[in-house]
């Protein structure tokens, strides 16, 4: 029996109110620095709890938008519903990335330029 886990360098959520998705699987209507939001992802996922990670919008199949914010995962829990394993948790927005800026990885951390 194998143990399937996903090590995640980012958090990717569906667009706000995506059809056939729960609210926790989607981005909130607005992103505000310092605000705490919940998330839900299928699979057993491991997130970095010590450092900010990029938040992206996804259409699925790893099709990602450019990063829209830097977030800190403050809680991640695994649970099973039927035969599906889920990761749920909370994240806080550390900084929203303006449209005219980009996210850069430098010296072991993300910066916005």
Domain that holds residue 72: 6-112
Q: What pairing do the DSSP bridges indicate for beta strands 109-112 and 103-106?
A: antiparallel
**C-alpha span between 92 and 111 (Å, rounded):** 17
**57-109 confidence digits (pLDDT tens):** 998 888 999 999 999 999 999 999 999 999 999 999 999 999 999 999 988 88
Place 37 in a pLDDT band, splitting at 50, 70 and 90.
very high
Share of the chain above pLDDT 90, in %: 84
Is residue 62 in a domain? yes
Place 111 in a pLDDT band, splitting at 50, 70 and 90.
confident
Is residue 72 in a domain? yes
**C-alpha span between 107 and 59 (Å, rounded):** 30
Is residue 36 in a domain? yes
Instruction: Give the total number of structural domains in the chain.
Output: 1
pLDDT the model gives residue 51: 94
**In angstroms, what CA-CA distances link 66 with 14, 39, 70, 81, 86?**
13, 19, 12, 31, 25
E strand or H helix at 42 = strand 36-42
Q: Is the pLDDT of residue 1 over 70?
A: no
pTM summary value:
0.91
């Amino acid at each position: 029996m194998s143990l399937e886990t996903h090590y995640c360098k980012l958090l990717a959520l569906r667009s706000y109110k995506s059809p056939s998705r729960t609210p926790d699987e989607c981005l909130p209507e607005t992103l505000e620095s310092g605000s705490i939001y919940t998330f839900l992802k299928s699979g057993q996922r491991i997130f970095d709890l010590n450092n900010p990670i990029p938040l992206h919008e996804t259409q699925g199949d790893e099709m990602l938008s450019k990063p829209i914010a830097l977030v800190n995962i403050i809680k991640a829990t695994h649970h099973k519903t039927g035969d599906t394993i889920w990761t749920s948790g909370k994240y806080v927005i550390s900084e929203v990335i303006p449209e005219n800026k980009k996210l850069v990885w430098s010296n072991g951390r993300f910066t916005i330029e």
